[in-house]
Every structure is written in structure tokens, then in C-alpha cells.
């Protein structure tokens, strides 16, 4: 039995737990490994390693920490193909999508290195009073928990851990039990870069392990990307325990098409947004809002929504499977709901891979005339299901986006009118806005936005983690 080891205190160690979780290749429904449900003692050992490493690591120079990050970057670049293949095998996405995730992760490592020399510098003002100077310095706080999701296991790691390294904090990583394999490859790369013992550890397991880690009294804060249900639980736990929280949660994203949009280009962007990575992206579109006069785009979207399903390493494949059977079942449930409330114009259940693979496949699915108050329009599906909603005006559309769902992650408008785009960007209550962009993904040197029930906490991921991993101290100085 191939069981993933934990990575604690710079060593790969076999878990003593007797409970194992099968790790599958979702394209073939085959077991490719097992993840242990780490014991409380193993979680404590990982935290202890991080706490022990912190006192020395916090005093390392920025240049030393940047040197570690540049070595990590070089290794990830060299091993792009290996990392991408692991993502395909364990998650199911296409190879091109996997390579894109590796590249985005490299960008985070680079941004973290830059952060160490720029935003982390602090501030100083002389003569705030006669002969008195004041200085703001930023200090890392200790050991943090980072809990990553199944859909972007490498990118989520890179949205937190490189920044912790840049700032002198330490981390215990708990990857998703659905896609845990990449975490061990990252640990190998971190170890090879010479990062000091205990700065990053990895413990495997399910939600019970995540809760044990988050509750540990020596964990200073919780970084999380995942569902709103779990995110709210962790946020409430952090508040109760007096810990910091950076909780990136669920979404229900809207793509708005105005009458003056370029319909051909819009249709391409919309289909890519809805169905890229099989709809398993927090910034993926879910509701297509067609403003009066833009109805022509609907037929174009329908025509482009029949994608070739298959194994992600096959060049002909345009869309892979869902990452787990439970996720496929959830999508099928929403399709059944959709049949009761809307008009099904593309049925993904009829779309099959060219040859039977046995995996968790469902093709792009599109519903027309979806009532805004239906579960299909309001709830996160996290799969390749698109709902088309009609509105009379931009004002009605903005009100729909702001009030119809509890989420506030992303929204995009497709238009050739800069005034419409500007009004939309200023009025819509979401953290990430796109103009003629289907997936408004911020670059690594910007934080990922998120509002309402799409984010809980005060510091977002990526560069914003400077307010998560560190706190400021004000030093007031007078010399007699």
C-alpha cells in the first residue's frame, strides 16, 4: 500500500495512524495512493517543529529568506512537467490547465521574494516631537496553519507559504485529502532548497486533522481556501481561540453581457470561464446575466459548450472529470433541480469521453430562463453548470448581483462602453471585477479579493498576508 508520509521537522515520516483515505485518479476512478488521517500527536509534533524553528528563523536576514525562495522558484520551474502531471493524475484537469497552475504558483514565489524587500521594510518618521523619532517595524508572529483545497492544491500553497517564508513565519500545511500528493512534492522542493528544519511541515488527513491543527494553542492563525461552510467554522474557531484568520471561501460569480459587447469574443470567454477546470474554480463564472438586447450571445454560448471530455494528458481533451465522486454527485443533483426550474439547452449528462474511462465525467451543462430566486442561481455548484438569467438594464443587473446571493467573490461585464464598465466596477459588491475578462484572477502581486460570505478575516491571501503573518510594532526613541 502506497501511503503518503507526513513531512515533519525536515523528515518524511510514516504516520502511525491506522486510518487511511484512498487517493484517486478521477479520470479512471483508480486508487493511486493513500493519505493517512494523522494523529493528534503527529499534528502536535509538526506544530512543535514550527514553533521551535520560529525563534531562529524570525531573525534570519531578508536576503537569506529570499535566497531560499529563489531556489524554490528554480526547482519549480525545472520540475514544471512533473508537477503538472501530478495535478492531472490526482485532480483530473487538462495538462495545459495544470501547467498554468504551476506558472501561477511560480509567480507567487516571485512576489513573495519581492515582498521581503519592499512592503516588509516598515516606516520611520523623525522628529515626531522635539528630539523624538518613531518607527513602525513588522515582526512575524509565529507558527501558522495553512489548509488548502482540492481544486488548486499547488496554487493555494503558493498563496500563503512562500509569503510566510519571506516574512520569517513558519507553517504547518494540511492539504486536501482529495488531492494531497502535490504537497509532498512541494515539501521535497522546500527541503532541497535548504529551508531550515521546521519552517514548513505537512500533515495529511481530513477535516478532523484540520480542526486539530487549527485548535492547537501554539498556532497563531489560520489560512484557508475552500467552502464557505468550512470557512465559517474555522473563522468562528479562530475568533473563539484568539487567532488570526485569512479565510477565502465560496462563490457564485456572475458574467454580464451588455448589448454593445463583442458577442463572438464574449462567448469564447464565457465558455472558458464556466467550464475551465470543469467549473472547479473559485473565480469561475456560474450565472450568465444577459441584459436586454444581448440575447444573440445565448446561441453562441450554447454552440460552444459541447467540449471533448477525456483524460487530461490526452491532447484532444478539452475538459477533464470532476475531482471526486461526491463532487460529481453534487453536480448531478443540481442538474435535476435545474430541470424543474429552467430550460435545459445543453445537457452534460449526454456528453461522454470518446472511450469509456470509468471516471467522474460530466459535460458542460447550460440552463436557460433560470429564476433568480432558484437554488441554481443562488447556491455554489462548483461544477460545469451555467445558468442564464435575463435582465432589463445594468442597474437591475447590479442589484441582482449584490442582493441575490450571499457571496461576493467575482463578477465580470462584457461591454464596449467604458461608462458602463466604470459604473459596474464601482457599484458591484464583489472583491474581483472583470471587464471583458471571464476569470478576473489577480496577479500574484495583488491580493485575491473577496467580500460577504466569500471571505472572512482581515488579511487576504498573497501579498496581503503581510498583515496576516506579521504585526506592526511602534518604537518611539529619544536620546538624552
For the annotated catalytic residues, the residue numbers are 282
* CA pair distance 38, 229, nearest whole angstrom: 23
Q: In terms of DSSP H, where are the helices of 346-440?
A: 375-378, 394-404, 418-427
Q: Which helix (H) or strand (E) holds 9?
A: none
**Cα(333)–Cα(40) distance, integer angstroms:** 36
CA separation for the pair 279, 90 (Å, rounded): 16
Residue pair 15/5 in contact by the 8 Å Cβ criterion: yes
Helices (H) and strands (E) in the chain, counts: 16, 22
Question: What does DSSP assign to residue 156?
Answer: H
Packing angle between helix 95-117 and helix 62-78, nearest 10 degrees? 170
C-alpha to C-alpha distance for 232 and 55, rounded to whole angstroms: 31
> Please, which residues bridge with residue 314 across strands?
none
Q: How would DSSP label each residue in 86-109?
A: HHHHHH---HHHHHHHHHHHHHHH
For residue 61, give the C-alpha cell.
Answer: 536576514
The H or E element spanning position 437 is: none
C-beta of residue 32 within 8 angstroms of C-beta of residue 179: no
Backbone angles phi and psi of 149, in degrees to 5: -90, 175
Burial of 474 (0-12, 13-18, 19+ CB in 10 A): exposed
Q: At 105, list the grid cell.
A: 504558483
Q: How many residues are present in the chain?
A: 480
Helix (H) or strand (E) holding 365: strand 365-368
CA distance 262 to 416: 7
Contacts for 469 with CB less than 8 Å, ≥ 6 apart: 140, 141, 144, 163, 164, 167, 169, 221
Scan for cell 499534528, then name that residue. Answer: 43
Amino acid at each position: 500500500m502506497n501511503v503518503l508520509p507526513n513531512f515533519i521537522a525536515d523528515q518524511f515520516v510514516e504516520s502511525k495512524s491506522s486510518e487511511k483515505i484512498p487517493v484517486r485518479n478521477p479520470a479512471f476512478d483508480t486508487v493511486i495512493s493513500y493519505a493517512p488521517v494523522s494523529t493528534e500527536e503527529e499534528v502536535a509534533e509538526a506544530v512543535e517543529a514550527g514553533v521551535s524553528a520560529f525563534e531562529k528563523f524570525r531573525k534570519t536576514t531578508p536576503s537569506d529568506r529570499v535566497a531560499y525562495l529563489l531556489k524554490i522558484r528554480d526547482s519549480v520551474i525545472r520540475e514544471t512537467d512533473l508537477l503538472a502531471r501530478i495535478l492531472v493524475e490526482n485532480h483530473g484537469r487538462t495538462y495545459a490547465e495544470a501547467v498554468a497552475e504551476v506558472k501561477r504558483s511560480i509567480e507567487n514565489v516571485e512576489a513573495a521574494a519581492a515582498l521581503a524587500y519592499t512592503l516588509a521594510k516598515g516606516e520611520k518618521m523623525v522628529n515626531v516631537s522635539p528630539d523624538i523619532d518613531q518607527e513602525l517595524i513588522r515582526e512575524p508572529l509565529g507558527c501558522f496553519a495553512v489548509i488548502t483545497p482540492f481544486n488548486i492544491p499547488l496554487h493555494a500553497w503558493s498563496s500563503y507559504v512562500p509569503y510566510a517564508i519571506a516574512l520569517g513565519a513558519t507553517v504547518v500545511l494540511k492539504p486536501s485529502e482529495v488531492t494531497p500528493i502535490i504537497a509532498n512534492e512541494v515539501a521535497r522542493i522546500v527541503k532541497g532548497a535548504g529551508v531550515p528544519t521546521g519552517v514548513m511541515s505537512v500533515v495529511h488527513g481530513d477535516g478532523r486533522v484540520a480542526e486539530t491543527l487549527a485548535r492547537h494553542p501554539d498556532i497563531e492563525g489560520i489560512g484557508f481556501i475552500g467552502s464557505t461552510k468550512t470557512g465559517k467554522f474555522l473563522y468562528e474557531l479562530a475568533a473563539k481561540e484568539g487567532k488570526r484568520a485569512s479565510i477565502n471561501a465560496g462563490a457564485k460569480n456572475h458574467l454580464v453581457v451588455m448589448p454593445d459587447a463583442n458577442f463572438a469574443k464574449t462567448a469564447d470567454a464565457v465558455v472558458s470561464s464556466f467550464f475551465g477546470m470543469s467549473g472547479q474554480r473559485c473565480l469561475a463564472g456560474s450565472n450568465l446575466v444577459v441584459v436586454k438586447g444581448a440575447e444573440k450571445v445565448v446561441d453562441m454560448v450554447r454552440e460552444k459548450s459541447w467540449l471533448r471530455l477525456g483524460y487530461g494528458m490526452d491532447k484532444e481533451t478539452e475538459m477533464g472529470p470532476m475531482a471526486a465522486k461526491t463532487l460529481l454527485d453534487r453536480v448531478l443533483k443540481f442538474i435535476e433541480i435545474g430541470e424543474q426550474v429552467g430550460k435545459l439547452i445543453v445537457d452534460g449528462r449526454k456528453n461522454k469521453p470518446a472511450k469509456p474511462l470509468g471516471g467522474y465525467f460530466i459535460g458542460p451543462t447550460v440552463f436557460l430562463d433560470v429564476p433568480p430566486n432558484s437554488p441554481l442561481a443562488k447556491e455554489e455548484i462548483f461544477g460545469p453548470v451555467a445558468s442564464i438569467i435575463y435582465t432589463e438594464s445594468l442597474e437591475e443587473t447590479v442589484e441582482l448581483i449584490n442582493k441575490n446571493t450571499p457571496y461576493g467573490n467575482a463578477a465580470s461585464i462584457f461591454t464596449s462602453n467604458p461608462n458602463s464598465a466604470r459604473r459596474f466596477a464601482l457599484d458591484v459588491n464583489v472583491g474581483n471585477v472583470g471587464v471583458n475578462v471571464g476569470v478576473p484572477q489577480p496577479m500574484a502581486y495583488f491580493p485575491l479579493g473577496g467580500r460577504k460570505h466569500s471571505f472572512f478575516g482581515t488579511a487576504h491571501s498573497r501579498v496581503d498576508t503581510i498583515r496576516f503573518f506579521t504585526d506592526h510594532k511602534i518604537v518611539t526613541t529619544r536620546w538624552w
